[in-house]
Chain A
Amino acid sequence: MPGFRKRSIRRWNPPQHSFSNMEIPYTISARPDTGLWNAKLGIWLFLASEVMLFGGLFSGYVFLRLGSAPGYWPHGLLNVPVGSMNTAILILSSVTVVMAWASLKMRQFTRYQIYMAITIICGIIFLAVKLAYEWPQKFVHFGAYIKPAVAEKYEDYLGNKHLIEKGLEPRYEITGHLHEIEINRADADPAELDTLIKARGLEVVKTEDEGKVLTLKVHSPSDAVALRDVLGVISNPDEPNPAKRTRKAHGVKIEAFELALDEINANPTSPENERPRFIPRSLSEKTATIHMEDIDGDGQAWSSFEPRHSSYFAVYFTITGLHGLHVLAGVLVFCYYMLPVSTRLYRQNPEHLANRVEVAGLFWHFVDLVWIFVFPIFYLL
């Protein structure tokens, strides 16, 4: 093979090239030993490692899900129409990126640019929907897990008798939008607490017990977290070590939450609420008060829909976050292929640009492929 010989000599003779314009061999012709141009082999090796990365996370998902007790794997908390739309956008972008590559192969540069631009726009829409709509919606939604031992007190919102009769999984979580919280400010640093209330624009609705117990209107669960974290000085006169007689600790005790209930907790026995449905349920008019002593995990099992909420949201944010980073990386690479530097490459060597687009396209299809599994396991099942 004369071609092989010539190239291998060039490859093993670096002084012929300065590093600044070193030519990478086999960008468009196949290497005789692998039968592939180099980048193609490279991207597949990279995708193989990506399969292992996402495979590890998906197997983590399986592990967590199989290990969750009945009633503790949430269903129907994500917006299915929005997720379906994002799936369709990603599929569309997969079609346009392969069309962009095909256009280059057929030497239709303008069409290539149009298809590439659509791909980039699709990627940006996907990310925007995720970051500006889906995730922020979760951060203002509130949920609290009730201790199974006292779940009966909240039967009106959980409907477990009905669910068990029907052979369905019980419910232990009450979800909705947090409107008010009742706090005991006894040990809180008064100045710090008042500053916080003002800074967050919270409204004091009611004061009881000589101003010790406050009911506050809050905007989101993050207000409740901030209130809980207000420090106070806790003193313990019995402590033998004088240095330890006073210490800083959470000075505010949350007594109760009042929330506008999600439809599913407002009518828990309605047959319509037995299974998740396509159209997201709206918030109901009903409200409920949940007392801190009834909340699971020593009163810790309440939060917005964030990673600490549950294994479900932890693995949801991890996988969709990593997937989103991949979408972002793809968009950046595609943008590079729209720059003048790529136009110049096309004029010099169109096949080289086509191969670059093919490699980035392979990565993009892989990202789409991951989403094909992410969508059902988080949104639907």
Chain B
Amino acid sequence: MDSSHDPHPATQDGAHDHHDVSKHVKGYLLVGALLLVFTGLTVFLSYVNFGSSKANIIVAMIVATIKASMVAAIFMHLNSEKWTIYRFLLLTVFFVIGLFVLSLLAFHDPIRY
């Protein structure tokens, strides 16, 4: 078995070499700090009156999406993943959008109108 005796055990998945990881550490800490700042921002913006509650919801969802993208891209390494995983996730995104569309269809009732 290729184990710790392998001189390059981590290179086979291509993404993370030992040196690579130590380079990324600062990035992880930075993203963590940014996430905390964005959490504060979410809370702060929710008390700002943007004119309607709809506007507030949109602002909060934009901030949440930015935070979620940071987690997915950096912590979950989706910024440099294999295409196999992207393919699965694209399919998932497609079906999740479908789920939300189903909910909205209930209000628009396209069959009756």
Contacts and interface: CB of A to CB of B under 8 A. Distances in A.
Residue among A35, A59, A88, A376 with max Cβ neighbours from chain B (10 Å):
A376
B100 A59 contact: yes
A346 to B, nearest CB: 9
A322 interface: no
B3 A28 contact: yes
Given A41-B84, A91-B39, A381-B57, A275 B47 contact: yes
A99 B95 contact: no
Interface in A100-132: 102, 105-107
Nearest to B57: A381
A52 B43 contact: no
Contact of B60 (A35, A45, A99, A376): A376
B12 A30 contact: yes
Contacts of B106: 63
Interface residues of B, number: 59
B29 to A, nearest CB: 7
A66 B57 CA distance: 13
A335 B1 CA distance: 27
Contacts of A80: 43
Contact of A275 (B1, B49, B71, B83): B49
Contacts of A105: 10, 16, 18, 21
A380 B28 contact: no
B80 to A, nearest CB: 13
A35 B18 CA distance: 19
Contact of A56 (B46, B99, B104): B99
A59 B103 contact: yes
A158 B84 CA distance: 56
A111 B23 CA distance: 17
A334 to B, nearest CB: 15
A55 to B, nearest CB: 4
B79 interface: no
Contacts of A62: 100, 103-104
Interface stretch (A186-194, A210-218, A307-315, A362-370): A362-370
A4 interface: no
A23 B1 CA distance: 10
Contacts of B2: 28-29
Given A55-B99, A102-B21, A106-B18, A372 B68 contact: yes
Given A63-B106, A102-B28, A37 B100 contact: no
Contacts of A106: 18, 21-22
A350 B3 CA distance: 8
A365 B76 contact: yes
Given A105-B16, A362-B76, A366-B76, A95 B32 contact: yes
Contact of B88 (A37, A48, A362, A381): A48
Interface string B14-46: 101010011011001101100110011011001
Contacts of B71: 94, 365, 368-369, 372
A52 B96 contact: yes
Contact of A376 (B46, B49, B85): B46
Contact of A37 (B1, B13, B29, B42): B13
B89 A349 contact: no
B39 A88 contact: yes
B12 A29 contact: yes
Interface string A337-381: 000000000001111101000000110011011001101110011
A381 B9 contact: no
A44 B85 contact: yes
B56 A52 contact: no
Given A29-B13, A35-B82, A36-B84, 13 more contacts: A55-B100, A66-B104, A67-B107, A88-B36, A94-B75, A95-B29, A95-B75, A98-B75, A276-B46, A349-B4, A350-B4, A365-B72, A377-B60
15 contacts: A35-B83, A35-B84, A36-B82, A37-B12, A40-B85, A48-B91, A88-B39, A92-B32, A102-B21, A276-B47, A351-B6, A362-B76, A368-B71, A369-B68, A380-B46
Leading 5 A-B pairs by shortest Cβ distance: A95-B32, A380-B46, A55-B96, A105-B21, A63-B103
